[in-house]
Structure 1
Amino acid sequence: MEPIRETMKRVVNAPAFSERYNEMRREVLEHPGVQKFLEENAAEVDKNVVDKGLGKLYEYIYQSHDCNKCPGLGDCINTLKGFEPNLVLERGNIGIAYTPCRLKNQYDNKRRASSLIHSMYMPKEVMQATLADFEPDASRMEAFRAVTEFLDKATGPDNLPEKGLYFYGKFGVGKSYLLSAVANELAEMNVKSVLVFVPEFMREMKQAIGDQTLQEKVDYVKRADVLMLDDIGAEAMSSWTRDEVLGTILHYRMAERLPTFMTSNFSYSELQHHLTYSQRGEKEDLKAARVMERIKALTEPIKLDGKNRRN
């Protein structure tokens, strides 16, 4: 039987193998990424180093770079999904280091941003809102400008404008959508937001008395970096939820100068009228005025109008 060493020598020296090897070597050395690497490391890389590292160079060129061969993160063709190869020198030899690719960074950033937004009873489709998809027509331009001014002033969790916005108008004009879009923009700045659908929240607060979680839930909401109260005025407000829940939250945020956003179908004056009458029909002007004073201290009113975009 022919010794294995002699067999390998005969195969390697065969014309067909030599031709394929030279073709592969030429293809590798013509790759722009390889050429750049060799230029940057010309003082340390000679022909012997290249020949020893040809396998690594070949592995490098047939993978995706800057996601140019991948339609999406889930269809990544690289050895490590979501990571792109970079040529490196390791103790005088050519090696490959893998770093997160552009698509993986985008995915990770999106997941991180999502973790900074806590939604309480808000619809999932609303939570995916973006300012890029908000149509600032004439009836909504004032709201769009107010939002961009707020975001321009916000540079991070430690530098936020003290005053938020109060969006009001008829059903379906984009008030809730705009809240979520702002929350997503703030998340890109590492700012945490809590979005609360007020009618459902108030119903849960009544139940929280029984399971002794009321204070914990109120404290969580009132201390949010940015609080967004959606659809205030749509709930059947009792004296207790108005004064002990909503009033407590607003008083804390006013004292701590924490930005607060709200949406409502009511203007300021209409909301005050709504807050004046309890479920029992009792008229409580002073208590309603006290809550409204806090709302006015925390927000600037902006009307949204236009067509109903839910239809």
Structure 2
Amino acid sequence: MEDISEVITRIIKKRKLSEDGKKIAKTAIKHPSVQAFLAQNKDKLNKEIVQASLPTIFNYVEQIEAPNPVMEGYTPKLFLNGKVIDITYVPTEAKLNSEAKMRAERRIELIDLPGKLRHVELENVDSTPERDAALNEVAMFLASFKKNKHIKGLYLTGDFGVGKTYILAGLSNAIARQGSRVVFLHVPSFIASLGSHFQDNSLSDEIDRIASAPVLVFDDIGAETLSEWSRDDVLGVILQKRMDNVLPTFFSSNMTMDDLAEHFAETRNNVDEVKARRLMERVRFLSKEVFVGGKNRRN
């Protein structure tokens, strides 16, 4: 078939258009997206289709060039609809990104933590020498997690306010973008709220639900007040199930792992180093300890 642009040019010349009209028509035909469509469909187009579709092409270019879209979040696109060229509307890249972000945010369950953590993006986490080790580990985890959903997590330790929770929030969002569900819980509040499940006998289900989460983040572990029961029958059960199934588990703490072992040994009424060591074996199996330094950003 002859060049479709030449066919269109002849059609425009034959039309009873003013000089300005012809100029507008030729400009529309030369629009890059129109040219791309014509080139892509040159074997399917003929003179009759083009002649019948010229008003649609002009309308399309007007919409493309207009400052405000016909439909917010959508952009017009030409397509061959039988024997005519027609316009459809497809989501813009910005809308697709926005929808992907909302889907990811719905995959993150926050327990006793502020909703703003759902919006933390890793690229917005300040990179400093004191944080570089943690951010590098996070990047390596994400690369590995794409291929293997059963890998070791991280244990971020450091002083108050250095950004441990913030980094793990960014990580959680990146994981959710990959399609996995994340449970992100504040350990002291979670332990304190366990009694609320006694009335409806839902505690066992809640423990199992958290233990089975594809990805689990324990925030501020070590700041909770433990009983033997909450240590052994709650944390112990959750961590054991996660260890058995090699489910990615993350921790943030103001304590090092060695300090956490001492914390686990001391409950309200007893000291039991054996059970503490057993619990720490699970923590160490599930995560790699990484120090996060820097200034207190909460001040």
Could you tell me the TM-score, scaled by structure 2's length? 0.87
SS at match of 2:288: strand
SS at match of 1:63: helix
Deviations 1:234-284 (A, max 9, x none): 11111111111101100111111111100111111211221222223x222
Is the contact made by 2:74 and 2:95 (CA closer than 8 Å) also made in structure 1? yes
Sort the Cα spacing of 1:307 and 1:29 in 2 relative to 1 into closer, same or farther, 3 A: same
Q: 1:179 aligns with which of 168, 177, 188?
A: 168
Q: 1:99 aligns with which of 90, 93, 102?
A: 90
**For residue 3 of structure 2, what is the aligned residue in structure 1?**
none
Q: 1:225 aligns with which of 193, 214, 236?
A: 214
Sort the Cα spacing of 1:58 and 1:176 in 2 relative to 1 into closer, same or farther, 3 A: same
Is the contact made by 1:153 and 1:161 (CA closer than 8 Å) also made in structure 2? no
Deviations 1:42-88 (A, max 9, x none): 455445433422221122112248xxx77xxxxxx333332222212
Is the contact made by 1:166 and 1:301 (CA closer than 8 Å) also made in structure 2? yes
Summarize the alignment of residues 103-122 of structure 1 with structure 2, pairs less than 5 Å apart. Answer: 103-122=94-113
Q: 1:297 aligns with which of 278, 285, 299?
A: 285
SS at match of 1:211: coil
Question: Could you tell me how far apart the structure 1 residues matched to 2:78 and 2:118 are?
Answer: 41
Question: Could you tell me how far apart the structure 1 residues matched to 2:44 and 2:137 are?
Answer: 58
**For residue 208 of structure 1, what is the aligned residue in structure 2?**
197
Q: How many residues align?
A: 284
Q: CA deviation at 1:101?
A: 1.5
Q: CA deviation at 1:309?
A: 1.3
Is the contact made by 1:150 and 1:161 (CA closer than 8 Å) also made in structure 2? no
Q: CA deviation at 1:307?
A: 0.2
**For residue 8 of structure 2, what is the aligned residue in structure 1?**
none
Supply the AA of the counterpart residue of 1:26. Answer: K
Is the contact made by 1:126 and 1:177 (CA closer than 8 Å) also made in structure 2? yes
SS at match of 1:244: helix
Matched, 1:153 2:141: no
**For residue 294 of structure 2, what is the aligned residue in structure 1?**
306
Q: CA deviation at 1:301?
A: 0.9
Question: Could you tell me how far apart the structure 2 residues matched to 1:40 and 1:298 are?
Answer: 53
Matched, 1:195 2:184: yes
Question: Could you tell me how far apart the structure 1 residues matched to 2:46 and 2:238 are?
Answer: 70
Matched, 1:162 2:155: no
Matched, 1:242 2:214: no
**For residue 138 of structure 1, what is the aligned residue in structure 2?**
129
Sort the Cα spacing of 1:162 and 1:42 in 2 relative to 1 into closer, same or farther, 3 A: closer
Supply the AA of the counterpart residue of 1:113. Answer: A
**For residue 288 of structure 1, what is the aligned residue in structure 2?**
276
Question: Could you tell me how far apart the structure 2 residues matched to 1:81 and 1:127 are?
Answer: 25
SS at match of 2:285: helix
Supply the AA of the counterpart residue of 2:197. Answer: A
SS at match of 2:77: strand
Q: CA deviation at 1:98?
A: 2.0
**For residue 29 of structure 1, what is the aligned residue in structure 2?**
29
Is the contact made by 2:105 and 2:118 (CA closer than 8 Å) also made in structure 1? no
**For residue 13 of structure 2, what is the aligned residue in structure 1?**
none
Q: CA deviation at 1:20?
A: 5.4
Question: Could you tell me how far apart the structure 2 residues matched to 1:80 and 1:199 are?
Answer: 47
Is the contact made by 1:130 and 1:184 (CA closer than 8 Å) also made in structure 2? yes
Sort the Cα spacing of 1:64 and 1:229 in 2 relative to 1 into closer, same or farther, 3 A: farther
Is the contact made by 1:127 and 1:177 (CA closer than 8 Å) also made in structure 2? no
SS at match of 1:179: helix
Is the contact made by 2:221 and 2:252 (CA closer than 8 Å) also made in structure 1? yes
Q: CA deviation at 1:152?
A: 1.7
Question: Could you tell me how far apart the structure 2 residues matched to 1:259 and 1:55 are?
Answer: 57
Q: CA deviation at 1:219?
A: 1.0
Q: CA deviation at 1:162?
A: 2.2
